[in-house]
Each structure stands twice: as structure tokens, then as C-alpha cells.
Chains A and B, each alone.
Chain A
Amino acid sequence: MSAHPADAAIPHTVEPHPITGIPNGKFGIWLFLASEVMLFGALFSSYVLIRTQAAHWPPEGGLSSEILNVPLATLNTAVLITSSITMVLAWASCKLGRLDRFRLWMGSTIALSFVFLVIKYFEYTHKFHDGHFPSTNNFYAIYFTMTGLHGLHVIGGIVVNTFLLTAGTWLWKVDREHFTNRVENAGLYWHFVDLVWIFLFPSLYLL
């Protein structure tokens, strides 16, 4: 028995499954994203409930946009949107058979993910410095929980994307289409992380 990972034949990594019409990996990632919708959905639901029941929001008075840093969050929105298109281009490069371009775009995606986290770090430390913690009130509890969970997802994306950029590229040499599908699936996850932020940004910072 050969020890090479490519010999361990997992069915339908490239050719579509006869029932679903798509490769299993893609079906799997969409089911995972469905569960992610419920995870963030429950938090959004809690947010709506807590906020509609509050006498004032934020409880300390003023507006969310005055308490949170809108310019930094706007910049972070742009960073995340940019990382989404670099992710698409990384996948497209695989489709076009260009591993060098893939490395460039995937590297950019990971770099932008770190930029997002660094900006988030500045936001957090500024809040901590001013004595605002998740335990301060419901506003900060919601803010830290939702952006924190989103931040964990960004870190998860960095881990997967870094694997695909480094050790994971062995698959490119063995089965290009399979590798391309992995990049596509990582991309689906990454765009979802962008999508969550698209709703988090206005509902936490602007409204």
C-alpha cells in the first residue's frame, strides 16, 4: 500500500456527485455555511431583541457612530472587500493554470486579513484603554461578542489560506482540478466572512 496521500481515493473531489451535481467538498462547505448562518443569525436575533427592549441605545447615551470608530471600521470594510476580490483572483489563477499568480493573490488575501486584524486590534485596545469591556453594558457585550466571533472566523480563514499557499500546494502537482476546488471552497468560506461583516458594520457602527 502506497503512503502517498493522493492514493487515498476520496470519491467526488473533482467529478460531480451524481445526486447533487456538484463535488462533495463544495456541497460540504455550503452545508457548513448554512450552519454558520444560524450561528450568526442567533446573535443578530439576540442583538435585535436586546436593542428593541433597551430604553436607550447605546445605554450610556449618544449614538453608536459616536462611540465606535466609524472611519477605522469603514477602512476595515474596504480591506475585507479587497481581500474578497484577491481571493476570487487566486481561484481564477488556478483555473488559468497559473500557480505563480495564485501565490501572488492568495498571499495578498492573507496579508489583507492580517491588516483587518491589526486595525481591529487598535479598535479593541482603544476601547479597553477607555475602560470599556464586554461586561461594561449590553452595547459593548454585543459589540465584542459579534466582532470577536467574526475576528475568530478571520483567523480561521488565515489558517486555511496559509495552508493552501504553503504545504497544501503539493496537490497542485498531483491533481490541479482538485487543488482548484479546494481554493474555491476556501473562497466560499472567505466571502461568507466578508458577507457577515457587510451586515455587522452598518448594524453595529452606523445605526
Chain B
Amino acid sequence: MAETADHSSAEEFKKHLGKYYVVFVALLCLTAVTVGVSYLKLNRPLAIAVALVIASVKAGLVAGVFMHLISEKKVIYAVLILTAAFFLLVLLLPSLTIFESVAA
């Protein structure tokens, strides 16, 4: 979207601004939901799952709309797929090593 807007299509661009406000309100609501759910004192696995799902939805909104990731170039997706793979590796590897040694 950033690439398509130029000075001649300022009016066209203005129409897109509404979605930023929608995302803003959605982010505030989801923050309220995640805090509200924490007071329910759910059992731990469920509480972790709910909190992570809400955080992921919020992150998706920020990355997708505020950072324009919905309509980005392939090269950025490629960088992010690599990053995600290494992120999962660094996140899971230490824990997996521990679990293996406990099992053995």
C-alpha cells in the first residue's frame, strides 16, 4: 500500500486511514480481554494458551497493518521466514535438550 500511494492519489490514500483506527481499538480491546482473562485464574496450560493466542493476534495486527506486512515484497517475507525458523530453534532447543536428559 505504501508503494501505490503518491501525491496524485492522496484522496485514495486517505480512505485507507480508517483501518488504522480499527486496529488501534482492536488492540486496546484485546489488551482488556487478556487482563480480564488473567483474573479468571484458569488452570496454567489453558491460561498460557489463551494469553499467547491473544498476544499473537495483537502481534499479527501490528505487523500486518501498522508495519504493512499484509502487502509487502517477497524479499521481506523470505527474511521473516528465515527469522521465524531460527527463532523457533533458539526458543525450543534449550528446553528440548533438558526434556531429553530428563527422559534418559
Give me the interface of A with B, judged by CB distance under 8 Å. 16, 19-22, 27, 30-31, 34, 37-38, 41-42, 44-46, 48-49, 52-53, 65, 70, 74, 77-78, 81-82, 84-85, 87-89, 92, 95-97, 184, 187-188, 191-192, 194-195, 198-199, 201-203, 206-207
Contact = CB atoms under 8 A, between A and B. Distances in A.
Interface residues of B, number: 48
Interface in B14-35: 14, 17, 20-21, 23-24, 27-28, 31, 34-35
Contact of A37 (B28, B34, B83): B83
A25 to B, nearest CB: 12
Instruction: Tell me whether chain A's interface is mostly helix, strand or loop, or mixed.
Output: helix
Contacts of A201: 31, 34, 55
Interface in B62-104: 62-63, 66-67, 73-76, 79-80, 82-83, 86-87, 90-95, 98
Contact of B79 (A31, A48, A78, A206): A31
14 contacts: A20-B73, A41-B90, A45-B90, A45-B94, A46-B94, A52-B95, A78-B28, A85-B20, A85-B24, A92-B17, A92-B20, A95-B10, A192-B67, A206-B34
Interface of B: 2-3, 5, 7, 10, 13-14, 17, 20-21, 23-24, 27-28, 31, 34-35, 38, 44, 47-48, 51-52, 54-55, 58-59, 62-63, 66-67, 73-76, 79-80, 82-83, 86-87, 90-95, 98
Instruction: Tell me whether chain B's interface is mostly helix, strand or loop, or mixed.
Output: helix
A41 B91 contact: yes
Contact of B38 (A34, A65, A184, A199): A65
Nearest to A35: B83
Given A22-B75, A191-B63, A191-B67, A81 B31 contact: yes
B98 A20 contact: no
